[in-house]
Structure 1
Amino acid sequence: MNIIPEPLSGGSRLSYDYINHYEQVGDFYGGSHRDPKSWKQRVDWLDQNGHRAVNRQALADCLRSYNERHHNRHEAVHKSIALLEREDALVIVGGQQSGLFTGPMLVAYKAMTIIQAAREAEARLGRPVVPVFWIAGEDHDWDEVNHTFLPAQDEGPVKIKMNAADSSRTSVSYTPVNAEQWETALGEMQNLLEDSPHKKELMSLLRQTSLESSDLSEAFARLMGECFGRYGLILMDSADPQLRALEKPVFEQMIRENEKLTAAYIKAASELKERDYELQAEVNEDGLNLFYLHEGKRLLLFKDQGRFSDRKGLVSMTEEELLAELAAHPEKFSNNVLTRPLMQDAVLPVLGAVLGQGEIAYWSITRYAFKELDLQMPLILPRMSFSLVDSAVPKVMDKYGLTLQDVLQGLEDKRSQWLAEQDHLDLDQRFLDMKDAFSALYAPLIQDLGELQPGLQRLGDTNRQKILEQMDFLLQKTKSSLEQQHSASLRQWDRLQAELAPMNRPQERVYNLFYFVNRYGPSFLDRLMDIAYDDSGVHRVIYL
């Protein structure tokens, strides 16, 4: 594989500055991941404040139980969990929603980054650093996770979507998926994957992990374990009831300190706005930033006149009533994007958090909130980012004089320009000249007709407009014929778009991992894992 850096546009200005100009935004974060002093400061803080974390043995028991239940039983995983029991062990962590068949490729890239960053940190520090992947099973946005995309011949990306059995807004980990739903999704996957020597084995894996799972999070965990368990990646689900019980003291602190936390979020948001950075997460002056599960619905809580309730008024509790409910039912509580970083740091000895660009931006809002809970923001490590390019693609790009940046950042304009160059009749200019000449000849006649009878001028104007419209119609028909004449070439342009920038988005945010595993074989993941770790945040292109 040939690997070349190719920066991608997009993402927030704040995340761009974090990656490229840290000195401009460093005060919003806990330290630069490129500065050895920041690593030492974070390690020292963890060593001095380890007593604040959840009990190590209880945490290890919870993780061991979860990974056993979801068949992530690789020896490397057992070793990672055993290391985590040691008081000197640290964690590199990252997470994602539990997408259908693992969702887009960026999920795999995040897992790769976590594993490789943990390896590098362990070598650098000379002490155990284990990789942990946090499955955001507590999220309730079903439409964000219920689908995936595969490329289809001459069709571009095709969506495989799983409809929910009901429309409740409960957590994804609590949303049941039955065998019929799995069979439908698996059938679509079977039809869309091209025939290959690896397809039978791959479909067997997908069927086994899916049909034995009662929800998307469980299937996600099983697949992620199959893919990355051999590298020691520990899985945890934010909606796991056993984990919730361990988190109860942290939720209690968040509720009791809610006013201080809210003020901390508002202060950070205000400073970001003052420096013209766009907020990547909503900050409400009355927000608790916690969810409560009520009759199957996940409700975001707000504070109003001493009571906590949702916007629709389905629940309403005083602080003491809310704390009593937490004591009895911790599994009913969950975090939003602003409290999840805090919970993560309270539960795990987090040395570094692997984040995508959107996450890097909204974590800046938590800068003061960490301090309110006697925590410290961990180091932030940008997720590795890739585009996979088939060996046939460069030949097509050379044929049309295209760079990868042309494909990734504006292929439609280049396509239109190329097609215009094939117009040897100069259609646009000749039709424009014809319309101008016609209008110049017709205008005096219409004027004279109006002097003969006013109604004839109106009729003449209408007639002129219809003739001009017919000229435009003829121009479009002629251009369609030109496109048909070059249809084979235009299909090559369309395939470039579909392969590298589907739906005008980066490939890694659209296509599914198993399309590539099916094409290149089970060893494909091992080949990706052999790619050198890079913490620069720069997008790289892999020529296969």
Structure 2
Amino acid sequence: MPTDCISYQESGYFSSLINDYLNEKPELKALYHRFPNMENFKLQLEEKGNNFNGSGKLKREVLVSVLEKQYDSIVTSETTLNNIKLLNNSNTFTVTTGHQLNLFTGPLYFLYKIVSTINLCKQLKKEFPENNFVPIYWMATEDHDFEEINYFSLHGKKISWNKNTSGPVGRLSTEGLENVFDVFELEIGHGDNAKSLKELFKKAYIEHATLAYATRYLANELFKNEGLVVIDADDTDLKKSFIPFIKNELLQQTAFAKVNETTPLLESYSVQVNPREINLFYIEDNLRERIVFENGKYSVLNTKLTFSEQEILKEVENHPEKFSPNVLLRPLYQEVILPNLCYIGGGGELAYWLELKSFFESQQVTFPIVLLRNSVLLATEKQASKADKLQLTWRDLFLNQQELLNQKTKLLSDFTIDFSTQKEALKKQFEELHKLAQATDKSFLGAVKAQETKQIKGLENLEKRLLKAEKRVHQEQLNRIISLQNELFPNQSLQERKVNFSEFYVEFGVELIEKLLNELKPLEKEFKVVVL
């Protein structure tokens, strides 16, 4: 079985920004507060404790009260209930990940985010036993991009929930998901694990009224024994703590100014999110539209709603739940209401967090440690055995498919498919002609250079043709390599972004979750291969 490991940086699947962040490139240090390591977590604990616990006692009480209400309708573990109570204590901190309300978890990395968060809490507890650490899954209930979350893939088939929607997705009725269940039931097959999955889907989506309640139930069932706490921040009491920051955004538009100040530091990378002058939406059950300031008035786009400054400030005071932070303001909201040390997210999420440090400083809110979630390639024992027989390492399988085939063809061939020696010999032959050409007419020098280029090109073409011919000779072996790589990297992309967890759960059951919990180490910068 292949045993080599591969770093995120070597995997070829992360942006230059994330690679440079992981490498702690000095030019990026101004964009984050502390890099994720144990020594820095000690400092983060002290700072967050000092900055949160003074005014944080009331925030903690509100947070616990809201969570207890949200959990009132579902049966959960004593571990989770105890973690909620612990949030009242000044020595309790959170580690948070966030995710959209993807149907039936969406792609596999939903699991990896949460397992990373749980495992970091366990690691922190060992290191700092006098403190408590609670893993938080922040549901993106206020998002409105339904098309991004209304499906999942199973055995290469897209299972979709078709519905006309508007407004925040967390408030969506689950009506119509019976039809999705019928498709899922046929596709998932039979057996004890299939039966468990069907029951899980049915209880989550058919027996709960909204998508937020369904997603909370689902995440709780998968991770309740690990003490996971799921939070829906689309809540009036939680938003009350955020009122001063909502007002600041409406009146001062600080986020726009501070993020734009940061953008030049990212000029050699692609900027993930561009700020708006006002980074707030106005929401109701069937409405989520941007707030803009035009002609001395605040307006809600695509509606007739308008407010004077005095009117909108009054609306904030009376109905803070109607003001929803966008992708740039949501992190601030999270850090205001949670005693949070660290945010765990994917590469795209970390990219926009790295735009926000200056804005956080302007709001006098501690900027959290930001940690790249674990990435995982799941493989079966059978696939690992195939890789061994084909003399493939995991590092090989991460290669671009054409590059992999070229490398393996050269290894399988009985002779060297590399004309570097011939090219060097040719260049030496032309050195004498170049000397001769220097002493005569310039037109002859041009002819020599052209002939050299032509002959080098001819050798390169012969090398390509020889490689192509050898691929035909070894086609059977190469086809097996292609087949294995395609199994592990569907559509030549990351498995974790395409495949739903049920595809593995139906075969391995709870062992899937247990294996991830045992093997994922959030502070190691390694793309983990987990063999089931």
| TM-score, scaled to structure 1 | 0.79
Alpha-carbon distance in structure 1 between the residues aligned to 2:361 and 2:521 = 31
Which range moves more in the overlay, 341-350 or 329-338?
329-338
2:501 is equivalent to residue 516 of structure 1: no
SS at match of 1:526: helix
SS at match of 2:344: strand
Alignment-mate amino acid for residue 489 of structure 2:
A
1:22-101 alignment to 2 at 5 Å?
A: 22-34=25-37, 36-37=39-40, 39-53=42-56, 55-69=59-73, 71=74, 73-101=76-104
- Please state how far the C-alpha of 1:298 moved relative to its aligned partner: 0.9
What is the match of residue 527 of structure 1?
515
The answer to whether the 8 Å contact 1:302/1:309 transfers is yes
What is the match of residue 490 of structure 2?
502
Structure 1 residue ranges without an equivalent (≥5): 152-156, 423-478
The answer to whether the 8 Å contact 1:293/1:332 transfers is yes
Query: Identity across aligned pairs (percent)?
Result: 26
The answer to whether the 8 Å contact 1:4/1:540 transfers is no
What is the match of residue 296 of structure 1?
286
Task: Identify which of 148, 173, 180 aligns with 2:170.
Answer: 173
Task: Identify which of 224, 246, 252 aligns with 2:219.
Answer: 224
- Please state how far the C-alpha of 1:377 moved relative to its aligned partner: 0.5
Compared with structure 1, are the counterparts of its residues 98 and 3 closer, same or farther at alpha carbon in structure 2 (3 Å cutoff)? farther
Compared with structure 1, are the counterparts of its residues 296 and 232 closer, same or farther at alpha carbon in structure 2 (3 Å cutoff)? same
2:239 is equivalent to residue 244 of structure 1: yes
What is the match of residue 280 of structure 1?
272
Which range moves more in the overlay, 237-246 or 117-126?
237-246
Alpha-carbon distance in structure 2 between the residues aligned to 1:30 and 1:323 = 32
What is the match of residue 145 of structure 2?
141
What is the match of residue 205 of structure 1?
200
What is the match of residue 409 of structure 1?
399
2:308 is equivalent to residue 308 of structure 1: no
The answer to whether the 8 Å contact 1:176/1:215 transfers is yes
The answer to whether the 8 Å contact 2:21/2:28 transfers is yes
Aligned residues: 470
Compared with structure 1, are the counterparts of its residues 4 and 232 closer, same or farther at alpha carbon in structure 2 (3 Å cutoff)? farther
- Please state how far the C-alpha of 1:348 moved relative to its aligned partner: 0.6
What is the match of residue 439 of structure 1?
none
The answer to whether the 8 Å contact 1:133/1:233 transfers is yes
1:329-368 alignment to 2 at 5 Å?
A: 329-368=319-358
The answer to whether the 8 Å contact 1:175/1:215 transfers is yes
SS at match of 1:392: helix
The answer to whether the 8 Å contact 1:385/1:537 transfers is no
Structure 2 residue ranges without an equivalent (≥5): 413-467
- Please state how far the C-alpha of 1:72 moved relative to its aligned partner: 5.1
**CA deviation vs aligned residue, 1:418-469 (integer Å, no higher than 9, x gap):** 89999xxxxxxxxxxxxxxxxxxxxxxxxxxxxxxxxxxxxxxxxxxxxxxx
- Please state how far the C-alpha of 1:366 moved relative to its aligned partner: 0.7
The answer to whether the 8 Å contact 1:83/1:89 transfers is yes
The answer to whether the 8 Å contact 1:196/1:519 transfers is no
The answer to whether the 8 Å contact 1:501/1:507 transfers is yes
Alignment-mate amino acid for residue 398 of structure 2:
L
**CA deviation vs aligned residue, 1:124-161 (integer Å, no higher than 9, x gap):** 2221121111001111100111111122xxxxx21111
Compared with structure 1, are the counterparts of its residues 416 and 298 closer, same or farther at alpha carbon in structure 2 (3 Å cutoff)? farther
Alignment-mate amino acid for residue 88 of structure 2:
E
The answer to whether the 8 Å contact 2:33/2:367 transfers is yes
- Please state how far the C-alpha of 1:232 moved relative to its aligned partner: 0.7
What is the match of residue 186 of structure 1?
181
Compared with structure 1, are the counterparts of its residues 526 and 68 closer, same or farther at alpha carbon in structure 2 (3 Å cutoff)? farther
The answer to whether the 8 Å contact 2:238/2:337 transfers is no
**CA deviation vs aligned residue, 1:358-384 (integer Å, no higher than 9, x gap):** 111111111111012111201112211
- Please state how far the C-alpha of 1:229 moved relative to its aligned partner: 1.2
Task: Identify which of 352, 361, 371 aligns with 1:371.
Answer: 361
- Please state how far the C-alpha of 1:489 moved relative to its aligned partner: 8.0
Compared with structure 1, are the counterparts of its residues 488 and 270 closer, same or farther at alpha carbon in structure 2 (3 Å cutoff)? closer
Alpha-carbon distance in structure 2 between the residues aligned to 1:330 and 1:357 = 31
SS at match of 2:279: strand
Alpha-carbon distance in structure 2 between the residues aligned to 1:312 and 1:269 = 30
SS at match of 2:95: strand
Compared with structure 1, are the counterparts of its residues 418 and 18 closer, same or farther at alpha carbon in structure 2 (3 Å cutoff)? closer
SS at match of 2:34: coil
- Please state how far the C-alpha of 1:117 moved relative to its aligned partner: 0.9
Compared with structure 1, are the counterparts of its residues 402 and 123 closer, same or farther at alpha carbon in structure 2 (3 Å cutoff)? closer
**CA deviation vs aligned residue, 1:15-65 (integer Å, no higher than 9, x gap):** 211112353412100111126146315523432442344521111010111
1:123-134 alignment to 2 at 5 Å?
A: 123-125=126-128, 126-134=130-138
Alpha-carbon distance in structure 1 between the residues aligned to 2:3 and 2:120 = 19
The answer to whether the 8 Å contact 1:77/1:233 transfers is yes
Alignment-mate amino acid for residue 334 of structure 2:
Q
Compared with structure 1, are the counterparts of its residues 21 and 421 closer, same or farther at alpha carbon in structure 2 (3 Å cutoff)? closer
